[in-house]
Structure 1
């Protein structure tokens, strides 16, 4: 890990010398000398990192990390002063800088003596890297192409699935109300439960399905909320406001009224069960409950008469089959057809024998081997695994030791760049999914993404995405996909998070402190040897984060220590501790500060904290997302800022004394998220300016009402833009959009609230907006009077189908009152994945024809007051997975064609006619006359109000 830290600092300083060459010209030689010495130090670290079981080595490595961090801080301090003054840096400041650099160099010289004393020798590989022209870390070899999600591999548990499904659907008198799966971590309990949950028989048999993860740190109210949201998703807003008693009452009622299957995954303790059991009927219910746990006592305590199943570990043959599927995929760049497959199988069978039959361990091992195409590399992994097992004796206990060894050597096998990125994910909560976009920005702000890994034309965000792809490919990180080739969110398996936390603690990488209910505060949370952890993650609820606990973090020693502070809460937590609010300005060295989902009470904390942030001049990342905290104009002092998230709660007020050029000094800004709420301008004609933000790549919530449109063409590196056009000439807006450099802009989302489109030239404007590829439009929302879709595409001298085929939008929302059925036109948009019709049609009949909407996955039809009949032909919407019908009071029945929608997983009927709903219900075992249309849909949610 010390090697990774030094690599990061070398990369940062090298980038600064390139990007800020003019400002650093007077001290360039001194900085370059420091970089050279750090590169030389790095040649010793691969050997030292392999000997961390020695106390003396750990102390030396801690000193290396400190020297590297301090060297970077000295350079950054000089740079901030240079950027913050209009005058030239005085010579006295340069002298002070030189003195500090000499002190750093003196400490480096002592380190080489320590290396000698500890018999730490430079490695050949590191020496070759240090001799290269750049002196940076070896360029990351990318093995993973994430164009499509990898198929999930399932070996050895097919019989278990059939057994459990059989017990859950059994309706006899001796059936089991509760089915439990228990076993050690990494055995595949969650995977098995997921297979059962998604089984076709289960989907047909149960009217309501819910699956939630409990984990070690659970909160009763949140668990109950998540279950209910799964069962009645359309009432999510109401559910989040119910107290615990009402949550229990409603959950019991739903389980009595319809047959439900509820899965409680990863429940650790009997206390957790005792807290939840009141929400599940003890008798006289056809609903079923399934839980997974590592503790058989939990299963026996929950229901001593229930069915308790312990999956067997994989046999040697099954273990090899699983490893082969993961490590030897068919095709791919990593394969070498000349290799000795027979010998590799022999080695593979030996290595998999050390995995103890645990699927997680085997898959992790496969993630290592899949990037090793030669027999020589397999032999090296085999020898390393033997060394890992030998050196690990005594560190693990009982049956989990095999898993520990495999995870540890999978971590040690990572390139230096990826180690801190993997460890970083351990900051976040167990079983918590975080958006990858934010993770990438945090990695970059922390300096963990190296510009030396950037390929021609790539941004740092794309390099970070490639890092995530490597971690996913090695099975260290779980991801959800937004679309083909794009990760939406990521999470760590709880065992992988344990590994992350243990390695972060051993390397003083970060601290995680839990101030939530039921957790005692440890005044020495790191418990480490040196106490040099510079990154802090605090999990808290405002009502339980005591001032005594918060006082620990505002001590002077900690103020000087932390470079990163992330405050994490799962829900809006009210006022933050006044102790922390009053002392944020003291943490002057922070590079990252994140405070999200906090609704401050009163003006004083808002003012004090907002004012304090202007002193955090080293910040690269600042997030105040989902707060009511406004920091204009404090932000103008943060000259190194790369990511700024101000999508805050409530209304935004710009007082007269705020300058339109408040963002002008933020020349390093790459990602800007503006407030999304309503804006009040107290100065007439106020327009926020974006001149000078030439490095900006992401700009969200740009609003033409208070943002200067003429500045858009100046954003020459802009890749993602979301715009709301209000009371503005749409044609002029399109002119500026077309001036943004192409093909730099890759994602454009437009929300147009205007009456302009209803005028005679409206069809031409819409046609150009939708069909002209200059605009790279992916998402479009139209609010206000609209021309008929046939006018836009039908009244043309050439074939209208050709026009529609040019449209590349994936999301469309129409809020208007069209007189003609829009479906015949909209269904021909080839890439459309999500369609919202909100009061958009006044007619009585609507038709979706065969072959229409080929890619549509979500359709929401809301408030069509006159619609009486809707025809869906066989072959229409073949990919539809969600259908929401809301407030269509005259619709007589569901279309016959719904039964042909084989991909449909969720059907929501909200505030629909009671006759229509009754026709698809099952009441007391009796199916309504139209139930056959929806029998194949696993999740049907009906709420009539």
Structure 2
């Protein structure tokens, strides 16, 4: 496979040129020529992947050259754009004063890329033999690879997991072939569990034939059939030239002669493997079974909607706990070397690399990028997706938004067990995730080797490698004391799990702005931030995440023409501005022309004097009709004592007709406002609600009532909403009885409702 990072770099360069070739008219010809040559390079890279000549030493040298040249091209174009921005209001003569030197750089870069193209051409020419169609990888005479050893050693641990799977294999329908997938994170113990099940004596009484088939990534359909046939017939030389249909029929004949058959498919990577194996069961009336292990949850659910998902071992189940027998340790030593090799750490990373290599190239980049966060860090999923987009990792596709594509990639990583879910939101969406330590180690090492991102030391920042810098807060002062200047750096990260921002001196903060003039991504929420003159010149910023004592956005934010995401955490006691997720704002900023420019915003948090905002100050709440894509609206009234009753406008449902999730904080609306809220046709999730029915909320899934101490009951009609799956009451004691009635009514209609009551009041916290 061609290097994913190289492809990513070249594609980003192409996108950069295409987006800006019209903006710099005086350099249009030079940039168009550079674009043409870069497109040729991309075509050659695609050929490299197609024809497979990426393993030679010559190719590795070329990759290094491509990295350096593309980085220099990015730098030249970005500097070009800064000059254009600084002089866009001046006359033409002043504006092009420095164009000649930039044009020379562009021409030189074009020549360098052309030279790389010529080298790739030569490499392809010298590797014509590799372009032949690959032949089927058949086993040697009388030899069929079966993967990990199946010798009947005592396998300790995973007893409960193995017994659950065995129970499912033994029980169930005798009229059809059942498939029981075992799925789990790489290194979690799928092989151990599979061997334990395969060697369990209980299965020998239940199944006439138990066949072990190691599949792996490269296994072909014919290989699978030959490996199954090897179990029934010791000498398979006569079948090596048979086609797949003949082999499947031969295996089916052997199975038909005996009783129940269990086929264990170990390490499955493709769903077509399941279809292949199903062909051997011509007779389905005996209760045959297929057990498969995989690290891909999507594939497992393809085989069975309810796969067996492996969990991490509990402390009392650790495999070597309490083992004092020398033979046990000798067996461990033998098996560790057998399965992981002499260098356990490196071999574990190679084990993860199998999953990484199987990912599509665009998802490879997204996976490696997860390593920018610290070890053990709970990663907010929305932040990860916004960073992927800002970094250019998500390429546009017809009919899908960038967010939708990013969510698809994230789901792919989840299905492959490459990220772990840590928290979920009230609507069932994933809130935070984390990398397993072994996967995190792989991402850090692989990303560093490919120059994707680095953790800087006190040495000089290499312009060829340091494009994204991740630094721990504890090391930041020492790093800034070196007064770094690195115009090649595009992203700067400083993450911390602490809630309170870290104080740095104003001069140290300003150094960050001055050191990285071409920065695109700045995520320093862990620091107490201040604005500076140099910050105002960071025209390329796409993503800003900062914390500080802010009261308003500086006017200079209007100069950030590439800005996609702004996260502003303010620590002032009476904030006038709050920005979360994609956007947000104070009521004073909700003017019609401002919101019209942000018409695609999906999440909006408004904080301030709600009486003024709802009273249509400068249009106020009426201006929300400009937001055609709004899905989550949060209204936070920060007035401590409310002297005036708040009212929603009669047209509220029309102003926010696309809203799926509504959060109301400290608004203290009168009960009469419930009718207006009930007219929100798209509402799916409600954080604070007064009344609801099947007519008002036909797609309501979660209902959460927080501190509604005056609410006597909830309507029984809620039980008629088919989509309602969960209700939670926090400090809403008067409505507990009616909520239980809703639960009981749904239960009587064979519909499940998860009910949570806090405090529990002599009832379990979660009742079904």
Q: TM-score over 0.5 for the alignment? A: yes
Aligned CA distance change for structure 1 residues 19 and 124 (closer, same or farther; 3 Å): farther
Verify: 1:675 aligned to 2:578, yes or no. Answer: yes
- Looking at structure 2, the residues matched to 652 and 752 of structure 1 have their Cα atoms a distance apart, in angstroms, of 11
> Match for 1:352 among 267, 270, 293?
267
User: Any conservation in 2 of the 1:623–1:644 contact (CA below 8 Å)?
Assistant: yes
C-alpha displacement at 1:70, in angstroms? 1.6
User: Any conservation in 1 of the 2:447–2:453 contact (CA below 8 Å)?
Assistant: yes
Deviation larger for 710-719 or 435-444: 710-719
Partner residue in 2 for 1:567: 494
C-alpha displacement at 1:341, in angstroms? 12
User: Which structure 2 segments of 5+ residues have no match?
Assistant: 132-155, 165-183, 200-209, 222-242, 252-262, 271-291, 304-337
Verify: 1:188 aligned to 2:193, yes or no. Answer: no
Verify: 1:934 aligned to 2:764, yes or no. Answer: yes
C-alpha displacement at 1:507, in angstroms? 1.4
Verify: 1:495 aligned to 2:382, yes or no. Answer: no
- Looking at structure 1, the residues matched to 426 and 160 of structure 2 have their Cα atoms a distance apart, in angstroms, of 32
Verify: 1:618 aligned to 2:540, yes or no. Answer: yes
User: Any conservation in 1 of the 2:381–2:431 contact (CA below 8 Å)?
Assistant: yes
The count of residues paired between Structure 1 and Structure 2 equals 608
User: Any conservation in 1 of the 2:73–2:106 contact (CA below 8 Å)?
Assistant: yes
C-alpha displacement at 1:593, in angstroms? 1.4
Partner residue in 2 for 1:735: 622
User: Any conservation in 1 of the 2:44–2:121 contact (CA below 8 Å)?
Assistant: no
Verify: 1:838 aligned to 2:707, yes or no. Answer: yes
User: Any conservation in 2 of the 1:750–1:777 contact (CA below 8 Å)?
Assistant: no
> Match for 2:601 among 718, 742, 746?
718
Partner residue in 2 for 1:703: 586
C-alpha displacement at 1:65, in angstroms? 1.0
User: Any conservation in 2 of the 1:852–1:877 contact (CA below 8 Å)?
Assistant: no
Aligned CA distance change for structure 1 residues 587 and 642 (closer, same or farther; 3 Å): same
- Specify the SS of the correspondent of 1:490: strand
**What aligned pairs does 1:334-373 form with structure 2 within 5 A after superposition?**
352=267, 363-364=294-295
C-alpha displacement at 1:612, in angstroms? 3.7
C-alpha displacement at 1:64, in angstroms? 0.5
> Match for 1:855 among 724, 733, 737?
724
Aligned CA distance change for structure 1 residues 525 and 58 (closer, same or farther; 3 Å): farther
Aligned CA distance change for structure 1 residues 773 and 323 (closer, same or farther; 3 Å): farther
Verify: 1:813 aligned to 2:684, yes or no. Answer: no
- Looking at structure 1, the residues matched to 476 and 16 of structure 2 have their Cα atoms a distance apart, in angstroms, of 41
Q: Deviations over 1:725-768 (max 9, x none)?
A: 44234465453323544xx4444444568989958xx5xx5665
- Looking at structure 1, the residues matched to 586 and 660 of structure 2 have their Cα atoms a distance apart, in angstroms, of 17
> Match for 1:417 among 346, 357, 362?
362
C-alpha displacement at 1:460, in angstroms? 2.2
- Specify the SS of the correspondent of 1:568: coil
Verify: 1:909 aligned to 2:759, yes or no. Answer: yes
Aligned CA distance change for structure 1 residues 395 and 427 (closer, same or farther; 3 Å): farther
- Looking at structure 2, the residues matched to 737 and 909 of structure 1 have their Cα atoms a distance apart, in angstroms, of 37
- Looking at structure 1, the residues matched to 250 and 663 of structure 2 have their Cα atoms a distance apart, in angstroms, of 53
Q: Deviations over 1:220-249 (max 9, x none)?
A: xxxxxxxxxxxxxxxxxxxxxxxxxxxxxx
- Looking at structure 1, the residues matched to 114 and 353 of structure 2 have their Cα atoms a distance apart, in angstroms, of 32
C-alpha displacement at 1:101, in angstroms? 0.9
**What aligned pairs does 1:738-887 form with structure 2 within 5 A after superposition?**
738-741=625-628, 744-751=629-636, 758=645, 765=648, 768-770=651-653, 774=657, 776=659, 778-781=661-664, 783-784=666-667, 786-789=669-672, 792=675, 806=681, 808-813=683-688, 829-830=697-698, 831=700, 833-838=702-707, 841=710, 851=719, 855=724, 857-862=726-731, 867=734, 870-876=737-743
- Looking at structure 2, the residues matched to 629 and 714 of structure 1 have their Cα atoms a distance apart, in angstroms, of 22
- Specify the SS of the correspondent of 2:606: strand
Aligned CA distance change for structure 1 residues 647 and 756 (closer, same or farther; 3 Å): same
- Specify the SS of the correspondent of 1:594: strand
Partner residue in 1 for 2:81: 79
User: Any conservation in 2 of the 1:185–1:495 contact (CA below 8 Å)?
Assistant: no
Verify: 1:635 aligned to 2:557, yes or no. Answer: yes
- Looking at structure 1, the residues matched to 428 and 711 of structure 2 have their Cα atoms a distance apart, in angstroms, of 39
C-alpha displacement at 1:78, in angstroms? 1.8
- Looking at structure 2, the residues matched to 32 and 421 of structure 1 have their Cα atoms a distance apart, in angstroms, of 30
Aligned CA distance change for structure 1 residues 534 and 315 (closer, same or farther; 3 Å): farther
User: Any conservation in 2 of the 1:770–1:807 contact (CA below 8 Å)?
Assistant: no
- Looking at structure 1, the residues matched to 245 and 472 of structure 2 have their Cα atoms a distance apart, in angstroms, of 50
- Looking at structure 2, the residues matched to 366 and 868 of structure 1 have their Cα atoms a distance apart, in angstroms, of 40
TM-score when normalising by structure 2: 0.64
Verify: 1:447 aligned to 2:369, yes or no. Answer: no
Partner residue in 2 for 1:26: 26
- Looking at structure 2, the residues matched to 368 and 39 of structure 1 have their Cα atoms a distance apart, in angstroms, of 36
User: Any conservation in 2 of the 1:417–1:448 contact (CA below 8 Å)?
Assistant: yes
C-alpha displacement at 1:409, in angstroms? 3.6
C-alpha displacement at 1:407, in angstroms? 3.1
Q: Deviations over 1:505-538 (max 9, x none)?
A: 221221136xxxxxxxx65699x9x961321111
- Specify the SS of the correspondent of 1:596: strand
TM-score when normalising by structure 1: 0.53
Verify: 1:37 aligned to 2:37, yes or no. Answer: yes
Verify: 1:470 aligned to 2:321, yes or no. Answer: no
**What aligned pairs does 1:22-421 form with structure 2 within 5 A after superposition?**
22-45=22-45, 57-84=59-86, 85-88=88-91, 90-112=95-117, 114-115=119-120, 159-160=159-160, 186-188=186-188, 315=198, 352=267, 363-364=294-295, 397=342, 404-421=349-366
- Specify the SS of the correspondent of 1:813: coil
Partner residue in 2 for 1:209: none
- Looking at structure 2, the residues matched to 869 and 185 of structure 1 have their Cα atoms a distance apart, in angstroms, of 41
**What aligned pairs does 1:425-436 form with structure 2 within 5 A after superposition?**
425-436=370-381
Q: Deviations over 1:541-572 (max 9, x none)?
A: 4xxx37445545x444xx24422110111103
- Looking at structure 2, the residues matched to 424 and 536 of structure 1 have their Cα atoms a distance apart, in angstroms, of 12
User: Any conservation in 1 of the 2:185–2:417 contact (CA below 8 Å)?
Assistant: no
- Looking at structure 1, the residues matched to 299 and 80 of structure 2 have their Cα atoms a distance apart, in angstroms, of 42
- Looking at structure 2, the residues matched to 791 and 404 of structure 1 have their Cα atoms a distance apart, in angstroms, of 56
- Looking at structure 1, the residues matched to 130 and 89 of structure 2 have their Cα atoms a distance apart, in angstroms, of 45
C-alpha displacement at 1:779, in angstroms? 0.3
Aligned CA distance change for structure 1 residues 855 and 537 (closer, same or farther; 3 Å): same
User: Any conservation in 1 of the 2:566–2:579 contact (CA below 8 Å)?
Assistant: no
C-alpha displacement at 1:589, in angstroms? 2.5
Q: Deviations over 1:33-56 (max 9, x none)?
A: 222222322344467787777665
User: Any conservation in 1 of the 2:613–2:621 contact (CA below 8 Å)?
Assistant: no
- Looking at structure 2, the residues matched to 3 and 862 of structure 1 have their Cα atoms a distance apart, in angstroms, of 55
User: Which structure 1 segments of 5+ residues have no match?
Assistant: 127-155, 165-183, 193-308, 329-337, 356-360, 373-392, 514-521, 601-605, 655-673, 678-697, 794-799, 815-821, 881-896, 911-915, 921-932, 939-945
**What aligned pairs does 1:573-584 form with structure 2 within 5 A after superposition?**
573-576=501-504, 580-584=508-512
Q: Deviations over 1:621-640 (max 9, x none)?
A: 22104776987245344333
- Specify the SS of the correspondent of 2:392: coil
Deviation larger for 491-500 or 852-861: 852-861
> Match for 1:590 among 512, 519, 525?
519
C-alpha displacement at 1:826, in angstroms? 9.8
C-alpha displacement at 1:710, in angstroms? 5.3
Aligned CA distance change for structure 1 residues 502 and 109 (closer, same or farther; 3 Å): same
- Looking at structure 1, the residues matched to 720 and 372 of structure 2 have their Cα atoms a distance apart, in angstroms, of 46
- Looking at structure 1, the residues matched to 673 and 556 of structure 2 have their Cα atoms a distance apart, in angstroms, of 51
Partner residue in 2 for 1:288: none
- Looking at structure 1, the residues matched to 80 and 663 of structure 2 have their Cα atoms a distance apart, in angstroms, of 46
Partner residue in 2 for 1:533: 466
- Looking at structure 1, the residues matched to 118 and 626 of structure 2 have their Cα atoms a distance apart, in angstroms, of 59
Superposed CA RMSD: 5.4
Aligned CA distance change for structure 1 residues 342 and 421 (closer, same or farther; 3 Å): farther
